[in-house]
Structure 1
């Protein structure tokens, strides 16, 4: 590959640009095909989901109303709205309840039928001030629109800021274009991968936010390390093949390990049956590998083609790198008092993590949308009137009518407001609805689901609350597998990179501290600060995968330089100081740029996307400061030569694999 780049640099660059253009043109068509419904957070094999499928197959109608029309006006207005809705071919039936809300039951046609119906009805009532549309089908449509607006906003905010910060870091106009270009290439390739994947598996539209933020962030990291090492080697060997080979053997190897490590961390999400988490995992794997590929092939080719012109279009004074020594002096100061620094740093992170123990988890519904969306307005209006629970009953589906004794016990169960009379919805298929007294995610309402299942063991229980209970059980069942994959892949890859078994375990502990502190800050910001009822229940899992990958990413960058210095003959403390000095400015700049890229999520109109952006940015900031500047050097000073210890069989394995260079 080095020979190809050195002999065909211009061709490699131009062909890569053509591939990126093709990938973006084809891949961008994936956006309207991605799913935005609330079912993407459910386990499709759960009891609640299978009950819905059974109802749809037996009746040809969706189990719950897909659209709620909140009408202001008298009975004549309600009837006019209802008649117009009934004209749509996707509508199976409508019901007007005593609150004047029109419940719209859609035909169970699958595919995009619900989306198309939502589009038609939204357009039909766009100028009517007397009706607001809500419900799952409308919320899904508005989520897709919000995601597309988020992506546009992220591009408008992130790319200019990244360019300006890159200009400050790289100190050259030409070089400043590289991170945005590498990021755009990685995102284009990932969109193409998602476009191919959606042909065989449904994907969540929310994965696009992660792909954009993570792709741009990793591109920044990889560009910084490739370009800085190229400049360093070119200053010694000139802008020729020798500098290219040295850059690829050092920084290129580091980028390769980093990309594989981030991809491995994100792959732990693939074990979850929830479409949301699976899609996030697939998008994370693809964008990490794509960013690594772009950084290892087109970027070096472009650098080789440019040669000394990489430093053009910048004032000579700006090209002068600030005097070094600060990070090395900081490391030396820390290592003179390693015990105290390690204890204080760890205690600080633990204190930040304490609020996480009081976290409340919630599901995804219309209230996660922006306040301007009609689906959220309808949900909040029903909440204010105290009648929203009427439209989110606990539903038992069974093959025979329940006995009056069981019905009476359920009516008197804690948390039950009323039990509606059982009704036959298909030949031999009965439905029993229980209205809860409290919010659908309240503890007593969740317990009511368990009571129904205990009283009616032959029934299939569904509804919003049952779906949330099943989701929590599914997440808990798959979480140990995900954590095992996360820990094993992270530790294995760091061992292959360093030859040590101590450094992977130490990185694992530091990643846990970073994750805990980040999650605690999320609770403070969103629950305590903004007054949200809780954090979306998949956020800890998603944040764990993302934070682990990015924390390991920075650990590899630092360990690569420390190991290089140690292999060059420096003793442990000197090698740590040298490694921190050589990576300090670059990692700080990379973290700053990454926080800008991923922090654009905080501008999203969807609350749990905001949580992901803030949580990831906080994790990156903590890792680049407390972890890298204080905990890493203090712990490495305390452990001394034990940092590089491994059992003899593993030492021989590492030597045989030939990964030390």
Structure 2
């Protein structure tokens, strides 16, 4: 296959480039409609009890409360005549708004639960109509229309789930714009430093452009068939540019290395495709496998990252394998054109002395050098012993976000948090007596402030206030019960209350579905933890198989998996230490809270995939030398000498893209960016630089062990790195091309 790819590039280079340009234009046209097809949300398991409860309440009762208006009268009490008239006018306007339903306000019957203790704040509860995407749009319209200063001296702020989503959608583009404004210039600068020439530095951008436009087109097409989260576009941009740089760096470096030996352009391209191209194909397969594991989760937020991740990796690899060789054929020695002043000093060696010396030192004293690194990584991983998982709430936003400020007032000044109530739906007829008994039992649970039903309000196990019935709570064929607690939303106690509520037997012959924010959190954690073993098992198994096919050894895949788990454990441990335990939290401006479950899983899969990316980069060169007859020590030291600069440069370039997200104001985006960037650097420096050579030295010849039947299998079906040897040079490189004998890696 690689021979045919090389021949195609050599014989039809310009045709390949024309086809690529046309394909990018078509993909760009299709991908331009991606945002119109993609959706918000997607954090919940559609088969969970809380999701089913929400759907039943939406169908029968007009939906759960997801928007809370905090109405304040700073200069007087709300019962003052002018404030009272303005409050009633506001409520009337909200009830007339076509985007809202189930509007319940303090002014309806002067409900004490909807007024603050000092009488200066009151609540208006409402449900924003539509699915998750429509709710976001409708919520923005409503919030923009009604918040701010009002007549009668009133001030209105918006809180609740819909407002949190609106604030996140408002903040996210700002964060992304800032991240890109930092990452793109730095990446361009680093590309110039790494390659040392303008032409070579621009080539990776071509692959990144192909990967990004192709993946946007993929998401646009998928979005018309299945639910796809708009958040997947963030990964597309960062990973598309990063992998384009990684793969192009490997190809260009190998091409320049071959030119430096005096090979012709055609022979250099052919050898590059056979070696670096083969490495790119296997590297892409390992990264895609790790990201494909996201497809096993039922939340389409996570699945969407799987769609985007697999797509961007595959398209980046195809672009690298087909377009990059054609570009190299057309450019030839001009790939070194525009050499910058700092890169003009000629070098005769293709190896990186520093990495070769480091590998040599580690190989001489593997235990002495590896143990301190292992100790540091294990200490860094230790906070994982106390990790807890959660889902996004207002605390992921900056403190000045409106919805977060409303949440703080609800906790401090109101008896019970209506916004965080549990919503129970019984989708069957229920008589008053059994319904009352059920509500009374619920109201007696620890932490419950009141239970609201269609027949009245219950507190501490008894009926506190009878009610005539409400269409929002009672129907002939269904009943809705609202459990309001005084517990901190998303806390362990609030989650325990969900289990206790679900343990209370509903009226005989009925089933009670429990929804609400805390119930969604419990169900989301259960869903993710239930699928996690399958996802991890698939990642481990497929990675093992791919690395075996690549190396012919059963020890190398095991060694790679163990070292990757250690480095990822250290990364997740550091993120837990910061974002959950609160260390350095004030420095980066985040509020300590449980680790966001979806982002933690996503970060693990991406970091694991990129770690395997660099694993293949390094192991490919080591195996090539080993297959040529070098002993393990020589293969490792020379292999790292040749690839150390490439891996370091690729890691730094990719880490910049992720670290730029550390400037975000939304905390889980900060966690994702800082964690992914840190994982890349730990892997490139600590694992590839120290732990890999130490492990290879300790394993010795057994590093390449495989049972005889697997050796025969690999001999028939496996792929090796070497490919045909490059043609010997007939003469030194032409004097007119001085760049051909300079540092071929350019790094």
Normalising by the smaller structure, the TM-score range is over 0.9
2:447 to 415, 435, 448: 415
1-structure distance, mates of 2:408, 2:132: 29
Q: Secondary structure at the match of 2:126?
A: strand
The reply to whether residue 425 of structure 1 matches residue 474 of structure 2 is: yes
The reply to whether residue 523 of structure 1 matches residue 525 of structure 2 is: no
The reply to whether residue 124 of structure 1 matches residue 145 of structure 2 is: yes
Contact 2:148 2:156 in 1 (8 A): no
Contact 1:415 1:436 in 2 (8 A): yes
2-structure distance, mates of 1:30, 1:204: 10
Matches for 1:234-383 after TM superposition, within 5 Å: 234-315=259-340, 318-320=343-345, 324-383=352-411
Unaligned runs of 5+ in 2: 74-82, 107-113, 116-121, 456-472, 586-590, 722-747
Find the counterpart in structure 1 of residue 99 from structure 2.
Answer: 90
Matches for 1:234-633 after TM superposition, within 5 Å: 234-315=259-340, 318-320=343-345, 324-385=352-413, 389-398=417-426, 399=428, 400=430, 402-423=434-455, 424-456=473-505, 458-527=511-580, 528=582, 529-530=584-585, 531-633=591-693
Q: Say which is worse superposed, 288-297 or 365-374, in terms of deviation.
A: 365-374
Report the alpha carbon displacement of residue 563 of structure 1 after superposing the two structures with TM.
0.5
Find the counterpart in structure 2 of residue 115 from structure 1.
Answer: 136
Cα 1:257/1:41, change in 2 over 3 Å: same
Contact 1:363 1:536 in 2 (8 A): yes
The reply to whether residue 149 of structure 1 matches residue 174 of structure 2 is: yes
Find the counterpart in structure 2 of residue 14 from structure 1.
Answer: 18
Report the alpha carbon displacement of residue 388 of structure 1 after superposing the two structures with TM.
6.8
Q: Say which is worse superposed, 615-624 or 12-21, in terms of deviation.
A: 12-21
1-structure distance, mates of 2:342, 2:442: 79
Cα 1:104/1:407, change in 2 over 3 Å: closer
CA deviation map 1:19-58 (0-9, x unaligned)? 2233233313222442223xx1111100010011112222
Q: Say which is worse superposed, 136-145 or 252-261, in terms of deviation.
A: 136-145
2-structure distance, mates of 1:444, 1:134: 22
Q: Secondary structure at the match of 1:246?
A: helix
Contact 2:390 2:525 in 1 (8 A): no
Q: Secondary structure at the match of 2:32?
A: helix
| Cα-Cα RMSD | 2.1
2:30 to 26, 32, 48: 26
Cα 1:425/1:297, change in 2 over 3 Å: farther
Cα 1:259/1:84, change in 2 over 3 Å: same
The number of aligned residues is 656
| Superposition TM-score, scaled by structure 1 size | 0.95
Between Structure 1 and Structure 2, the one with more helix by share is 1
Contact 1:367 1:380 in 2 (8 A): no
Q: Say which is worse superposed, 472-481 or 600-609, in terms of deviation.
A: 600-609
Contact 2:422 2:482 in 1 (8 A): yes
Q: Secondary structure at the match of 2:40?
A: coil
Find the counterpart in structure 2 of residue 140 from structure 1.
Answer: 165
Contact 2:66 2:419 in 1 (8 A): no
Report the alpha carbon displacement of residue 617 of structure 1 after superposing the two structures with TM.
0.7
Find the counterpart in structure 2 of residue 105 from structure 1.
Answer: 127
Report the alpha carbon displacement of residue 351 of structure 1 after superposing the two structures with TM.
0.5
CA deviation map 1:253-305 (0-9, x unaligned)? 00011111101100001000011111111111111111111211222211221
Q: Secondary structure at the match of 2:261?
A: helix
Cα 1:212/1:592, change in 2 over 3 Å: same
Unaligned runs of 5+ in 1: none
Report the alpha carbon displacement of residue 532 of structure 1 after superposing the two structures with TM.
1.3
Q: Secondary structure at the match of 1:551?
A: helix
Report the alpha carbon displacement of residue 372 of structure 1 after superposing the two structures with TM.
4.9
Contact 2:379 2:570 in 1 (8 A): yes
Q: Secondary structure at the match of 1:41?
A: coil
Find the counterpart in structure 2 of residue 227 from structure 1.
Answer: 252
2-structure distance, mates of 1:17, 1:7: 18
The reply to whether residue 215 of structure 1 matches residue 240 of structure 2 is: yes
2:85 to 73, 76, 82: 76
Structure 1 ranges of 4+ moved more than 6 A: none
Larger radius of gyration: 2
Q: Say which is worse superposed, 70-79 or 204-213, in terms of deviation.
A: 70-79
Report the alpha carbon displacement of residue 449 of structure 1 after superposing the two structures with TM.
1.2
CA deviation map 1:341-385 (0-9, x unaligned)? 233222221110011212232211233234454333333332343
